[in-house]
């Protein structure tokens, strides 16, 4: 949003909601103070029936948001809890969202992968943890490659947040690998010719 020159968050959010009135959309709180987070979440929730207030799993001091999540859930606020990376966090958030009318639990599988860990076992376990809570859906957040869409689907993950650069690769699905190899060789050759290199 900053790169796009957005200076008024609420005006931007309301413009988005006018364009997309019938799909779930999350808008995040900015405060690091739980009391302010609560005020911001309630204001955000008031922007529309399809709005989910996005709350981080902890504040920047590492203090759990569970008490705030529970309070907002009990008062009927739709929530998207973000920045989770462990199954323990999923359990804690799930329990705090027991009375939430509808919500998302967003596990940052891509960042888990950035640490050298395979996110699939964690995400599979997270799906199991939410199996008895039909009002909650798991988001595979921060995917890094097209393969993640297929991994998320295979384990029954409800939602994946796929960026434009990942979606732009959908035309490659099931592409013949010999053909793809030849395309790659041609690309390397073309790059070398354009660079004017010689040995």
pLDDT tens, position by position, for the chain (199 residues)? 888 899 999 999 999 999 999 999 999 999 999 999 999 999 999 999 999 999 999 999 999 999 999 999 999 999 999 999 999 999 999 999 999 999 999 999 999 999 999 999 999 999 999 999 999 999 999 999 999 999 999 999 999 999 999 999 999 999 999 999 999 999 999 999 999 988 8
DSSP category for residue 98: T
C-alpha torsion sign, points 82, 87, 92, 97 = positive
The per-residue pLDDT for 3 is 87
CATH class of segment(s) 9-195: alpha beta
The per-residue pLDDT for 199 is 87
pTM of the predicted model as reported, rounded to 2 decimal places: 0.93
The per-residue pLDDT for 86 is 98
The per-residue pLDDT for 123 is 98
Q: Where are the beta strands (DSSP E) in the chain?
A: 25-28, 51-56, 79-84, 103-107, 136-140, 159-160
Burial class (CB in 10 A: 0-12, 13-18, 19+), 19: exposed
């Amino acid at each position: 949003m900053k790169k796009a020159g957005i200076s008024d968050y609420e005006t931007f959010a309301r413009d988005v909601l006018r364009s997309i009135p019938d799909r779930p959309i999350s808008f995040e709180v900015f405060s690091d103070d739980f009391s302010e987070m609560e005020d911001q979440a309630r204001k955000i929730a008031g922007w529309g029936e399809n709005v989910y207030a996005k709350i981080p799993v902890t504040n920047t001091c590492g203090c759990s948001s569970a008490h705030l999540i529970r309070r907002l859930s009990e008062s009927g606020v739709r929530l998207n809890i973000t920045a989770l990376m462990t199954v323990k966090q999923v359990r804690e958030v799930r329990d705090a969202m027991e009375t939430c009318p509808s919500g998302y639990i967003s596990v940052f599988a891509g960042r888990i992968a950035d640490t050298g860990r395979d996110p699939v076992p964690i995400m599979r376990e997270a799906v199991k943890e939410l199996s008895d809570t039909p009002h909650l859906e798991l988001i595979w957040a921060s995917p890094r490659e097209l393969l993640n869409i297929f991994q998320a689907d295979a384990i029954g993950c409800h939602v994946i947040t796929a960026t434009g650069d990942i979606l732009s690769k959908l035309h490659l699905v099931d592409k013949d690998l010999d053909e793809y190899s030849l395309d790659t060789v041609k690309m390397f050759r073309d790059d070398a010719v354009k660079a004017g290199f010689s040995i």
